[in-house]
Amino acid sequence: QVQLVESGGGLVQPGGSLRLSCAASGSIFSINVMGWYRQAPGKQRELVAIIISGGSTTYVDSVKGRFTISRDNAKNTVYLQMNSLKPEDTAVYYCKVVARLGNLLPLRDYWGQGTQVTVSS
């Protein structure tokens, strides 16, 4: 019973910035991982950034130094600050949460609905 609601996408010029948000709600026992994926036209979905429960982060090489993933544990919300955006960042961005609904239940993946990010002049 996990629901993810994404917001913050839109149209931006090259070099601009956007901040994506993803809020998780429902009967969540624990969240192990929160992250962002993206799927560009004609491309497979790829990992963009992940933040684990201990706070460690991982980024795909193409966004290192430009994107920052963060979280607000009290709100069960993950953010993606995107700076110096490039046309190749254009994609549908999906939030993903790996969570348990109980301490004896297995980890499962939960996905947001996706939000469009378009970088164009």
Q: Residue 94: exposed, middle, or buried by beta-carbon count in 10 A (0-12, 13-18, 19+)? A: buried
Per-residue confidence band for 53, with pLDDT thresholds at 50, 70 and 90: confident
Contact 64, 57 (CB under 8 A): no
In this predicted structure, what is the pLDDT of residue 112?
97
d(CA 14, CA 11): 10
Per-residue confidence band for 1, with pLDDT thresholds at 50, 70 and 90: confident
Contact 57, 110 (CB under 8 A): no
Q: Round the average pLDDT of the chain to a whole number and report it.
A: 96
66-75 per-position pLDDT tens digit: 999 999 988 9
Q: Residue 102: exposed, middle, or buried by beta-carbon count in 10 A (0-12, 13-18, 19+)? A: exposed
In this predicted structure, what is the pLDDT of residue 80?
98
